[in-house]
């Protein structure tokens, strides 16, 4: 049997610069304690988690050619195949100034490199080539300047048309456009705020969330997982729904919680796990992510311990009675 191959797409990666300067003051001269660069971006994180799990992973997208070092080191370290299209200039940098004493982080996000038509054409042909021998695709993160809001929708249609499993994790107009397209992704994992924004209505009760998920399932999605931070997630398919509640853990950094959940769901798909087991797996991945720095999974034994602590319950759902007219 050939291994299950996953490709992740990151259009707008970021090089995260974390500076620790305890007690720093705006406008003053401050002393720092440390400085660190990390490769970031949602699809890059997903590639990292899935490689840790042991899947065969390729990462593609657009990467500035002036500061590739951290990305290349990560891919090398994790055995991820690097299929990023290089574009001239630096990948955007996200600056995080951490005041460890005050337990406070200040973020400064710099704009992404604009994608050129040439780079996008090259990326599309790489995706077509990857579709020949990759089973699943994870399209994740925001869309940089120069990329149309319909890019994800078009790629979803192309990749599903080629018979591939497609997961999408994005927000804003890119998500809204993908949700109203003719072909929906197989897997969607919005957080509740992203789903509310994309549908243009608030989802206050569990019934609201279930009804919203069923709308997307009726339009072609196969699994909709709506995450709600520490409250857990609701996972819905055409004939089943489960709620997955995480235990309380010591959170080190919630960065990548959602990316880990997507990764867990893709790994569950690779193994054909039933929904309740997929929910347990995905939540365990998230717990692994938030209990350490960076997009890395703990050893399997620790993931198994987390998985055993997740409360998974079946959720009943009946289609609301349509009003007679």
The contact set with ligand ATP (CB under 6 A) reads: 191, 227-230, 232-233, 246, 249, 251, 254, 256-259, 261, 283, 286-287, 290
Q: Residue 91 or residue 191: which is nearer to Mg ion going by CB?
A: 191
Whether 234 contacts 226, CB under 8 Å: yes
68 binds, among ligand ATP, Mg ion, none (CB under 5 to 8 A by kind): none
The least CB distance from residue 259 to ligand ATP, in Å, is 5
Q: Residue 10 or residue 68: which is nearer to ligand ATP going by CB?
A: 10
Residue 258 in contact with Mg ion, rule: CB under 5 A: yes
Q: Given 133, 135, 259, 304, which residue is catalytic?
A: 259
Q: Residue 62 or residue 244: which is nearer to ligand ATP going by CB?
A: 244
Q: What string of H, E and C letters represents the secondary structure of 116-172?
A: CHHHHHHHHHHHHHHHCCCCEEEEECCCCCCCCCCHHHHHHHHHHHCCCEEEEECCH
CB half-sphere exposure, 77, CA atoms < 13 A: 13
The least CB distance from residue 49 to ligand ATP, in Å, is 11
The least CB distance from residue 76 to Mg ion, in Å, is 26
249 binds, among ligand ATP, Mg ion, none (CB under 5 to 8 A by kind): ligand ATP
Residue with tokens 């005041």: 99
267 binds, among Mg ion, ligand ATP, none (CB under 5 to 8 A by kind): none
Q: What CA dihedral angle connects 135, 188, 51 and 148, to 10 degrees?
A: 80
Q: State the Rg of the chain over Cα.
A: 20
176 binds, among Mg ion, ligand ATP, none (CB under 5 to 8 A by kind): none
Q: Can you spell out the DSSP letters for 171-212?
A: -HHHHHHHHTSSS--SEE--BHHHHHHHHTS---SHHHHHHH
Rounded Cα gap, residues 67 and 90, in angstroms: 6
Q: Residue 158 or residue 193: which is nearer to ligand ATP going by CB?
A: 193
| Residue closest to Mg ion (Cβ) | 258
For the question of residue 128 being annotated catalytic, the response is no
Rounded Cα gap, residues 24 and 101, in angstroms: 10
DSSP 231: G
Q: Residue 131 or residue 138: which is nearer to ligand ATP going by CB?
A: 138
Question: In whole angstroms, how far apart are CA 5 and each of 35, 72, 137?
Answer: 35, 20, 9
The least CB distance from residue 191 to ligand ATP, in Å, is 3
- Pick the stretch among 1-9, 230-238, 252-260, 279-287 that binds Mg ion (CB under 5 A): 252-260
257 binds, among Mg ion, ligand ATP, none (CB under 5 to 8 A by kind): ligand ATP
Whether 244 contacts 277, CB under 8 Å: no
Tell me the catalytic residues: 259
């Amino acid at each position: 049997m050939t291994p299950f191959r996953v490709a992740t797409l990151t259009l707008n990666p970021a090089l995260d610069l974390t500076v620790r300067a305890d007690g720093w003051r705006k406008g003053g001269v401050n002393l720092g304690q440390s400085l660190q660069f990390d490769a970031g971006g949602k699809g890059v994180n997903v590639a990292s988690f899935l490689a840790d799990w042991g899947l065969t992973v390729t990462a593609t997208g657009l990467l500035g050619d002036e500061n590739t070092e951290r990305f290349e080191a990560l891919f090398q370290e994790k055995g991820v195949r690097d299929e990023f299209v290089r574009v001239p200039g630096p990948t955007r940098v996200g600056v995080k100034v951490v005041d460890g004493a005050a337990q406070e982080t200040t973020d400064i996000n710099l704009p992404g490199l604009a994608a050129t038509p040439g780079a996008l054409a090259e990326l599309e042909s790489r995706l077509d080539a990857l579709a020949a021998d990759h089973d699943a695709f994870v399209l994740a993160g925001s869309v940089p300047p120069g990329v149309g809001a319909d890019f994800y929708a078009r790629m979803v249609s192309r990749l599903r048309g080629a018979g591939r499993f497609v997961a999408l994790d994005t927000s804003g107009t890119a998500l809204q456009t993908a949700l109203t397209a003719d072909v929906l992704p197989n897997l969607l994992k919005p957080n509740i705020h992203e789903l509310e924004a994309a549908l243009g209505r608030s989802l206050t009760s569990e019934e609201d969330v279930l009804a919203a998920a069923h709308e997307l399932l009726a339009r072609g999605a196969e699994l909709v997982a709506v995450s709600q931070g520490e409250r857990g997630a609701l996972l819905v398919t055409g004939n089943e729904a489960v709620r997955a509640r995480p235990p309380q853990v010591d959170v080190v950094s919630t960065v990548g919680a959602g990316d880990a959940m997507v990764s867990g769901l893709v790994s569950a798909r690779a193994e054909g796990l039933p929904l309740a087991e997929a929910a347990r797996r995905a939540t365990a991945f998230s717990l692994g992510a938030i209990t350490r720095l960076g997009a890395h999974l703990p050893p399997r034994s620790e993931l198994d311990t987390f998985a055993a602590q997740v409360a998974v319950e079946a959720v009943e759902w009946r289609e609301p009675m349509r009003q007679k007219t």
